[in-house]
Amino acid sequence: MSCCRELKHSSKKMSSSAIYILDVKGKVLISRNYRGDVDLGIIDKFMPLLMEKEEEGMLTPLLQTSECTFAYIKTNNLYIVSTTKKNANIALVFVFLYKIVEVMTEYFKELEEESIRDNFVVIYELLDELIDFGYPQTTDSKILQEYITQEGHKLEMQPRIPMAVTNAVSWRSEGIKYRKNEVFLDVIESVNLLANCNGNVLRSEIVGAIKMRVYLSGMPELRLGLNDKVLFESTGRGKSKSVELEDVKFHQCVRLSRFENDRTISFIPPDGEFELMSYRLNTHVKPLIWIESVIERHAHSRVEYMIKAKSQFKRRSTANNVEIIIPVPADADSPKFKTTIGSVKYTPEQNAITWSIKSFPGGKEYLMRAHFGLPSVECEEVDGKPPIQVKFEIPYFTTSGIQVSEVVIIKKKKDKNENVNLKNVKVTKKENIKKEGNKEEHNISSSNSEEFRVNEVNIQMISRNIYEQLFKKPSQKVDPQVIKSCQDSLLKHGIDYKKCSHLPDVQLKLPKLEGNDVVEHFYNIGEQQSAPYRELLKRLANCELPPMPKKWSKASGWTKYSGESQEPIPCPPDDALIFDVEVLMSAGKRPTLACAVSRDAWYGWISEPLANDDPHKVFDNINYDDLIPLETDGRKPVGDLNRHRIVVGHNVSFDRAKIKEQYWLERTGVRFMDTMSMHTCVSGVTSYQRTVLKAKNKEPHPSDDDWIEISSLNNLSEVHKLYCGTPVDKQTRDIFVDGTMQDVHDNFQELMQYCANDVVATHEVLKELLPLFLHRFPHPVTLAGMLELGSAYLPVNSNWLQYIDSAETIFEDLKLESRQVLSMKADEACSMLNDNSYKKDLWMWDQDWSVQNLKLKKINTKKKKVTKGKTVEENETVNLETKITVTKKSSNQNMAKPDLSKFEILNEEYIRCLEDIQNCSTEKNEEKIEELSKEFEHLFELGEHLPVKRPYLPGYPAWYRKLCTKPGKDPDWSPGANNITTSMQITPKLLRLSWEGYPLHYIKEEGWGFLVPYSRRRSDDAEEPLVPIDELLQACPLTFCKDSEFKPDMYSLPKEVDEDLGRRAYYARKKKDEQAAANQYHGLGVWSGIDVQGCCHFLRLPHKDGPKYKVGNPLAKDFLEMFSQNVLSAQGNEAEKVLTFGRMMSYWRNNRERILSQQVVWLPDEFLPLGLRGVWKKYGAIIPQVVVCGTLTRRASEPTWMTASNAHKERVGSELRAMVPPWLSHIYI
């Protein structure tokens, strides 16, 4: 038996001259020289030496030069390198390097290049404390974190070295206090087992560790008892079950001298989580879960697996979370599985299938069959057969039989030792066992308490005083047989219900219940809230509506119609109304007209623009005065605002948003009932059924006949047809959708009649639907909940405007910058047309480079003119401007420039001289005009040859023309490829993206992938456009098959050879060898079996959901991580820049229209709380259009606020929810 101490006790056996942290390219990120005996520049030899060894296939963790020895580890694309000149204990060097990684991971969560660059100062401090003059010092991260922090220290507060560093107990600080003392202990074992094909175990060993989590106050001492064989024999307990431990390694806190004397494990534990000890046992182990595998290969085209798993432990035990990992060939595809239990998943990135079984009882046997296709087959002897791995957990069971017999916590209290003995604890494999000092004593006091209550399986229930307040009637007794069955089932699954920890009881006086128990309490509360509104609904549904007016008044505001009379009123006074609002969509969101009806009268509301015959005008916002008053005259209340009133409508949340009083912070007694939500509860449809009902031109499936007659879509016409038998005519609505204010003026009576008809239809639906709804959902809380959800309210302030403006500005800036980058790339690619270099470009060779030519008209440039009997040839294109310039020049050519220096005072002669100077400058301008006219004269002549109908962008390739907009459509039009976005197929090619160094390529049927060359020449039947194979081979390696004599260049059948001679065998061998050649590529690409022009394989990009799916856009956010890993790369940083911009814009792009469409109404001061009046900020509200029962499960739905995500600093506009702050003296609960 050997016992190892913590690292620093053996530090004299190792020395490190310097520590380096390098990135994946070998660049030094940070370094520290400790001894000065090795030049820091020696690290420049590390990466070339590493690459050389890697190419030779002789890569080792040690690299030697004549100057020093490099010892390195790699983690997260970082190299941690130690250099030494001495004959150091290299095992300790590696332990220390891994300790560096562990400490830095504790500090920075993830050790990667970015965290190194962000924490240079802290890392230098850590390197100074971890090692001194090449020897390790303090390596405990918990101690280091006490005086090396990631926060800067103030000047007046100097950090002090923790007592733990200078104390004898260096692993634990003094003064630790916990309100609750706890100790958790885990025993984790793994079995390494080698068996031959006959099932005989050749070698087996058990590697285990005891891990603890200690949360104890002060400086406690613990004693751990194990069933150690040596200890049992020395104490006379040799017959007891014991284990002989080998290769034990203890934490530095364990007192080794005491362990060697009396085999007692005594220690003062570190605070928090640590590994107390590890051990190894060389013993014969029977596999707890035995795996038998049968692999059958069929004609090199498919492979079948039959896996049998058998548990070889006792039936009373159960293995949980069993995972059986079976390796499969790297080129396997088309997986099919069949299993008697559990589920099977194919993980192509691990070249394995995982058979997961949640619960595996002892003595059971299960089968799994798997079938794979094999596009290519390698020789079995090349890679061998990787082992099958089995992972599982068995509660209360260890393979070695090791047991923790006791954990004694010796805690000093009042100069006396208080021993708390936790005995009779059987340790689990990979399961937490909770040990608590003082816990056992606490449980005893709890069990004696009058308030203490547990159920039949020892689960603590609420305290007796609370139970008696909530449930006044005694509960029914459960059948003892059922209880016994539950208890046995818990024990069968390893859950000892007898060993449970309990919480202190609670003494609490609850408010008086509204009933005998909590069930009656909530029923009565719901009844109190909903009963008045339910009665109003019943009376409204069962009444006969008054006769509809024959002619509607066009006076602004409300008009009441009772019989033949009509009168203006401030608002309808009735307690129950059917209500409908109509909005002229082309004029904005302000209400245009509305209708309402009660049991006694009809009401009509007309907006000011409609009443005043105003012309059509578009309004971008809604003012408070533009809304419809329902409880006031616009300012003062009409009647009691707190009385119960109900307003019914179809999709009533839209109508509610047009009512003034709903924007008040203090609610009134008005509630809204939505007939559309009631219909959804009673006869709603699923998403599939909605699709079937909308497809009117298609015959429904016969299986749909069961529901298609008893359900409908949610619009008023379909709902009325379902419950009342006839649809509602909706043609007049088109005026509100597409018309103008003039159309409303011209059809006023017809539109009012249309609105009134909708009100009547809503009443008829309510009459039929309300009894069904109350029968289906009789509990009053359902109705009360719908009424409360229908009164949702979102307060906002001036920050809303700033939020919109800021998000729009940033979004447009990012959009413009992204477009400029892509437009510049498009212009660069377009220039390749000049010298046809696109044919050799690895990305643009397959694009449409066809151009449209500009055909010029043929016209006679000269004509003959007869003047006084003479024939004179006269040029048609006469430059009048040139003639005028020449004439003026001849008349002024002798004028000298006046001299102003002779004038001392201002007079008329001085003014004349100034005018002469201006004439001279005009003459110079005319000379320039003459020169320019001659230079561009040919363009004026060419203009006469242009055709009337000209092609768009002649001379530019077709792919470029698609990216440009035509002038005239947009007032802000500018030339160039301004139509380009990251979602276009041309964008990855313009950005020149590569996957693992291979250029990206797109095939419509396969999506995005990349080209891997396997031949140096194309096939003879290759068609245009041709793959630039020479340039591709310069940039990418040529794949080939090592184990075959396959030479792709030699595959061409001579024409003289008889076609019948071996053709089938030839092509069969060619296909097999091509697939074998493709297997030499070992990257992340997905084999598709597509050959491109006989020289390249097309491999698909890996999709996040598996190899069956195609990648539609390699610039999607899922591939952003691939850029940081250099798997997906580009020439320049434009691609990652564009991708980052796209990610930042994604939230606002997807939600912009919905957020901008929110209807914000700013409240006048008189309707604000007193503390908010007269301030510079504006305060208002948004009424979200919540459909209170938008789904069959009666869940509320709303497209913007109920789907708003959490704020993310990298996503523009994602702080939407923060724009709804509570107002003064209000809070959210």
Confidence of residue 76 (pLDDT cuts 50, 70, 90): confident
> Phi-psi region for residue 940, left (φ > 0), alpha (ψ -120 to 50) or beta?
alpha
User: pLDDT tens across 723-748, in order?
Assistant: 999 999 888 889 999 999 999 999 99
Q: Enumerate residues 6+ apart whose C-beta is below 8 A from 299.
A: none
Predicted TM-score (pTM) above 0.85? no
- CA dihedral defined by 37, 41, 42, 44, rounded to 10 degrees? 170
pLDDT of 881 reads 38
Q: Count the neighbouring beta carbons within 10 Å of the beta carbon of residue 785.
A: 18
Q: Is 1158 among the domain residues? A: no
**Is the model more confident about 653 or about 1134?**
653
Q: Are residues 223 and 81 in the same domain?
A: no
Is 548's pLDDT higher than 90?
Answer: yes
Q: Are residues 92 and 186 in the same domain?
A: no
Mean pLDDT computed over 372-401 = 70
- CA dihedral defined by 277, 283, 289, 292, rounded to 10 degrees? 140
Measured CA to CA, the distance from residue 342 to residue 353 in angstroms comes to 13
Confidence of residue 416 (pLDDT cuts 50, 70, 90): very low
pLDDT of 750 reads 95
Q: Is 1190 among the domain residues? A: no
Q: Are residues 414 and 387 in the same domain?
A: no
Measured CA to CA, the distance from residue 1218 to residue 803 in angstroms comes to 10
Q: Are residues 462 and 381 in the same domain?
A: no
Worst-scoring range by mean pLDDT, 193-202, 613-622, 910-919?
910-919
Measured CA to CA, the distance from residue 552 to residue 554 in angstroms comes to 7
Is 1211's pLDDT higher than 70?
Answer: yes
**Residues in the chain, overall count:** 1229
Q: Are residues 770 and 670 in the same domain?
A: yes
Long-range contacts of 717-724 (CB under 8 A, 24+ apart): 718/693, 719/650, 719/675, 719/676, 719/679, 719/765, 720/761, 720/764, 720/765, 722/679, 722/683, 723/679, 723/764, 723/765, 723/768, 723/769, 724/761, 724/764, 724/765, 724/768
Worst-scoring range by mean pLDDT, 513-527, 537-551, 870-884, 1137-1151?
870-884
**Is the model more confident about 718 or about 478?**
718
Please report the DSSP string for 983-1013 in residue order.
Answer: TSTTHHHHTTEEETTEEEEEETTTEEEEEEE
Q: Is 1225 among the domain residues? A: no
State how many domains the chain has: 7
Please report the DSSP string for 476-523 in residue order.
Answer: PPPPHHHHHHHHHHHHHTT--TTS---PPP----PPPPSSSBHHHHHH
Is 53 strand, coil or helix? Answer: helix
Confidence of residue 164 (pLDDT cuts 50, 70, 90): very low
Q: Is 1021 among the domain residues? A: yes
pLDDT of 102 reads 85
* Structural contact between residues 1002 and 1112, judged by C-beta atoms closer than 8 angstroms: no
Strand order in the sheet with 221-226: 265-267, 221-226, 404-413, 416-423
pLDDT of 895 reads 46
Q: Are residues 1002 and 1055 in the same domain?
A: yes
Q: The domain containing residue 716 runs over which residues? A: 531-793
User: pLDDT tens across 211-254, in order?
Assistant: 888 888 888 888 888 876 666 555 555 555 667 777 788 888 88
Q: Count the neighbouring beta carbons within 10 Å of the beta carbon of residue 86.
A: 14
| Nearest residue to 504 (alpha-carbon basis) of 439, 579, 548 | 439
Confidence of residue 1067 (pLDDT cuts 50, 70, 90): low
Is 213 strand, coil or helix? Answer: strand
| Nearest residue to 688 (alpha-carbon basis) of 1192, 1109, 1108 | 1192
**216: which 2 tokens?**
């104890």
Mean pLDDT computed over 953-963 = 88
**Final residue belonging to a domain, choices 393, 424, 451:** 393
pLDDT of 100 reads 86
Percent of the chain with pLDDT over 90: 25
Is 3's pLDDT higher than 80?
Answer: no
Q: Is 1072 among the domain residues? A: yes
Long-range contacts of 476-483 (CB under 8 A, 24+ apart): 483/456, 483/457
What does each C-alpha distance from 855 to 876, 942, 951, 981, 1186 come to in angstroms? Answer: 21, 12, 9, 33, 61
Q: Are residues 619 and 591 in the same domain?
A: yes
Query: The CATH number of the domain where 56 resides is what?
Result: 3.30.450.60
Q: What share of the chain is helix, strand, coil (3-state, %, to 5)?
A: 35, 25, 45
Q: Are residues 206 and 261 in the same domain?
A: yes
Catalytic residue among 140, 228, 574, 580: 580
**680: which 2 tokens?**
């959804």
End-to-end alpha carbon distance in the chain: 62
Q: Are residues 188 and 251 in the same domain?
A: yes
**Is the model more confident about 11 or about 22?**
22
Is 1057's pLDDT higher than 90?
Answer: no
What does each C-alpha distance from 1054 to 522, 1020, 1021, 1045 come to in angstroms? Answer: 90, 12, 14, 19
Is 417's pLDDT higher than 50?
Answer: no
pLDDT of 967 reads 77
The DSSP element (H or E) to which 320 belongs, if any, is: strand 318-327
Query: The CATH number of the domain where 235 resides is what?
Result: 2.60.40.1170
Mean pLDDT computed over 758-780 = 95
Burial 240-267 (b: 16+ CB within 10 A, else e): eebbebeebbbbbbbeeeebeeebbbbb
**Final residue belonging to a domain, choices 896, 925, 943:** 943
Confidence of residue 808 (pLDDT cuts 50, 70, 90): very high
Q: Is 959 among the domain residues? A: no
Confidence of residue 919 (pLDDT cuts 50, 70, 90): low
Q: For 84, how many CA atoms within 13 A lie in the half-sphere containing its CB?
A: 19
**Is the model more confident about 1195 or about 231?**
1195
Is 755 strand, coil or helix? Answer: helix
Q: What mean pLDDT is reported for the chain?
A: 79
User: pLDDT tens across 783-793, in order?
Assistant: 999 999 999 99
Q: Is 638 among the domain residues? A: yes
Q: Are residues 599 and 719 in the same domain?
A: yes
Q: Are residues 709 and 786 in the same domain?
A: yes
Q: Is 580 a catalytic residue?
A: yes
**Final residue belonging to a domain, choices 1109, 1143, 1177:** 1143
User: pLDDT tens across 336-350, in order?
Assistant: 888 888 889 888 878
Q: Are residues 137 and 222 in the same domain?
A: no
Q: Is 590 among the domain residues? A: yes
